[in-house]
Structure 1
Amino acid sequence: MDRLAGQARLEWWANHSTCLEMYDIDIIVTVDAAGMWRATGRHADALDTPQRAGWDFLMEMDPHFSVAFPGEDRGGIMVKVVEAEDGTLTFTQAPDWNGSGNVTFDLT
């Protein structure tokens, strides 16, 4: 199984040109022998009260974010985010902007 652990950024886009919020995250991505990926993470820094309110609002509206890895200006991988009570974030594949669900992680 391949594994990538590092930092990334979650971006919540209202449309193709308007990013309403960005959140730095620590993320772990694993890819099994069949090419299926799983990802979990946490906010890199604890959210203060206004940030938490904004996060909760966006999650309530639509829990789909794009993920941007270091060196990327804009996230290109769309994920659905689920937050557990302990703050763990779970990311599952979501269709990208054009409806395609094809996601590839290069772990080399």
Structure 2
Amino acid sequence: MDRFVGRARLEWWANHSTYLEMYDIDITVTVDAAGSWRATGRHATDLDATEREGWDFLMGMDPHFSLAFADEDRGGIMVRVDEAQNGTLTLTEAPDWDGSVNVTFDLT
């Protein structure tokens, strides 16, 4: 089994040219003999109140992020992120995600 432990970032893209936010994470990725991978992580630093509010907002809109590693200018692996109560992030590859999300804002 192969393993990577290090730093990566999650990027939340509004469209193909504009990202709204990025979050550094400490990540552990394991790959089994069949080539399937699993990834878990945590935010590299504790989120302050404003960052937490932004994170929760984006996660509520759509929990899909682009995953990028240190030597990449832009993330290339789309992942779905789930956050446990203890702050652990589980990343699942989402190759079929088409980038669309339906969001309704009530501005009244």
1:49 alignment partner in structure 2 = 49
How much identity, in percent, do the aligned residues show? 77
Cα deviation, 1:14-51, whole Å, max 9, x if unaligned, reads 10001000000000000001111000000000000000
When the two structures are aligned, how many residues end up with a matched partner? 99
1:61 alignment partner in structure 2 = 61
Is the CA contact 1:79–1:91 (under 8 Å) kept in the aligned structure 2? yes
Question: 1 CA distance for matches of 2:97 and 2:37?
Answer: 20
1:40 alignment partner in structure 2 = 40
Question: 1 CA distance for matches of 2:69 and 2:21?
Answer: 16
2:21 alignment partner in structure 1 = 21
Cα deviation, 1:43-73, whole Å, max 9, x if unaligned, reads 0000000000000000000000001100111
Unmatched 5+ residue regions in structure 2? 100-108
TM-score normalised by length of structure 1:
0.88
2:79 alignment partner in structure 1 = 79
Question: 2 CA distance for matches of 1:94 and 1:67?
Answer: 11
Is the CA contact 1:3–1:30 (under 8 Å) kept in the aligned structure 2? yes
CA RMSD between the two structures:
1.4
| Secondary structure of residue in 1 paired with 2:59 | helix
Amino acid at match of 2:70: P
Unmatched 5+ residue regions in structure 1? 100-108
| Secondary structure of residue in 2 paired with 1:15 | coil
TM-score normalised by length of structure 2:
0.88
Quote the offset at 1:95 in angstroms. Answer: 2.0
